[in-house]
């Protein structure tokens, strides 16, 4: 499948586009088994242009709004979830939460609607893949941008916390990164208002949600969350950005979650000897099991990082602290 020049290709390179007759003899297009579109070239007023991502529950397309002459990103439910109330509620929730945000580091969400039975979200188009695909390209490709990327991720998460929200799904897939190292935080489906501890315990027991490789111990244990849970997940994300792998991996989900709960955070410099001990120490502190042993806020974490060098041997053309706004 081809993206057009300068535009991201679908999330995983192993996704297979198949166009051909289905069991009923009707010609359809599928990507790794998912129907690409339901005959429509438009959803709402948006012209579908280029498929970008096929997830468990959603598809994401680059689309074009003829009336305003601009590209937008269109996220809509996969066919089998289009009448699923929980999924529709989740998409609408993402709109309700994120449409009120106004920050350079947060993707702008324009509209939630349902057209031809397809619930969709229209948002700002950002030309750049997600951080996971950047990491797959290998550190030498982006080492000079690491400092800028880290501080822009911090800005996005910190804005959310200042609005009183916890993101709860901070991970490399949920940061978009441009070729210049500019960052946008996305995917607000799990975002929740921070609540006083007592209210947290009183509200109906929600199921545990998040992504195992990046989930804080308190999130795994379904305890009250504050910004320090996102800080832990951000530290896992930054760890992967500079080491090429997240701090904990496991043969299965249980093993992985147990490591988050019990295993000491690994020293990042063991995976990348070019990391300075000061930087490694800061990352390890942000990965502490007990929230009280981490930094109090993302701002405090940023302050600690601001004063240290990340790499012993700085990459050529590194973006220096003076060039980064916190």
For ligand ATP, the binding residues (CB under 6 A) are 11, 52-53, 55-58, 60, 73, 75, 107, 123-126, 129-130, 173-174, 176, 186-187, 189
C-beta of 303: minimal distance to Mg ion in Å?
29
Distance CA 103, CA 132 (A): 23
Instruction: Work out how close the CB of 130 gets to ligand ATP at its nearest, in angstroms, rounded to a whole number.
Output: 4
Cα diameter, the chain? 64
How would you classify the pairing of strands 109-115 and 118-124? antiparallel
| 84 counts as catalytic | no
Distance (Å, rounded) from C-alpha 68 to C-alpha 319? Answer: 35
Are the CB atoms for 75 and 58 separated by under 8 Å? yes
Q: Could you give the residue ranges of the DSSP H alpha helices within 168-226? A: 197-202, 217-220
Q: How far is the CB of 41 from ligand ATP (least distance, A)?
A: 19
Q: 126 contacts which partner out of Mg ion, ligand ATP, none, CB within 5 to 8 A by kind? A: ligand ATP
- CA–CA gap between residue 174 and residue 185 (Å, rounded): 6
- 144-173 residues in contact with Mg ion (CB under 5 A) are 173
**Least distance (Å) between residue 81 CB and ligand ATP:** 9
Q: In the complex with ligand ATP, which residue's Cβ is closer, 176 or 287? A: 176
Q: Is 187 in the site for Mg ion (CB under 5 A)?
A: yes
218: partner contacted, choices Mg ion, ligand ATP, none (Cβ within 5-8 A by kind): none
What are the angstrom distances between the C-alpha of 160 and each of 168, 178, 191, 204, 213? 11, 21, 9, 24, 22
Residue of 66, 102, 169, 182 marked catalytic? 169
- CA 118 – CA 65 distance, rounded (Å): 17
Catalytic residue set: 169
Enumerate binding residues for Mg ion (CB under 5 A).
173-174, 187
């Amino acid at each position: 499948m081809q993206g057009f020049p300068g535009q991201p290709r679908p999330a995983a390179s192993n996704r297979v586009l198949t166009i051909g007759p289905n069991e009923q003899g009707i010609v359809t297009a599928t990507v790794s088994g998912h129907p690409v579109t339901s005959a429509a070239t438009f959803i709402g007023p948006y012209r579908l242009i280029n498929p970008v991502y096929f997830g468990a529950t959603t598809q994401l397309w680059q689309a074009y709004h003829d009336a305003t002459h601009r590209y937008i990103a269109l996220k809509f439910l996969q066919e089998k979830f289009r009448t699923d109330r929980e999924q529709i509620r989740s998409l609408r929730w993402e709109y309700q939460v994120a449409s009120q945000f106004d920050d350079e580091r947060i993707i702008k969400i324009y509209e939630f609607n349902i057209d031809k039975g397809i619930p969709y979200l229209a948002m700002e188009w950002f030309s750049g893949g997600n951080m996971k695909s950047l990491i797959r390209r290998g550190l030498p490709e982006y080492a000079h941008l690491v400092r800028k990327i880290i501080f822009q991720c911090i800005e996005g998460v910190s804005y959310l916390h200042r609005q009183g929200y916890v993101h709860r799904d901070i991970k490399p897939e949920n940061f978009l990164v441009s070729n210049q190292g500019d960052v946008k935080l996305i995917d607000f489906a799990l975002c929740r208002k921070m609540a006083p501890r007592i209210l947290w315990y009183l509200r109906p027991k929600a199921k545990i949600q998040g992504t195992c490789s990046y989930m804080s111990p308190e999130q795994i244990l379904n305890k009250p969350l504050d910004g320090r849970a996102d800080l832990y997940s951000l530290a896992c994300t930054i760890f992967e950005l500079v080491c090429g792998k997240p701090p904990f991996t496991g043969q299965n989900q249980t093993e992985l979650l147990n490591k988050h709960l019990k295993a000491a955070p690994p020293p990042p410099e063991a995976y990348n000897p070019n990391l300075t001990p000061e930087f490694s120490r800061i990352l390890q502190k942000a990965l502490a099991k007990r929230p009280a042993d981490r930094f109090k806020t993302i701002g405090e974490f940023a302050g600690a990082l601001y004063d240290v060098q990340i790499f012993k041997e700085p990459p050529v053309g590194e973006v220096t602290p003076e060039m980064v706004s916190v």
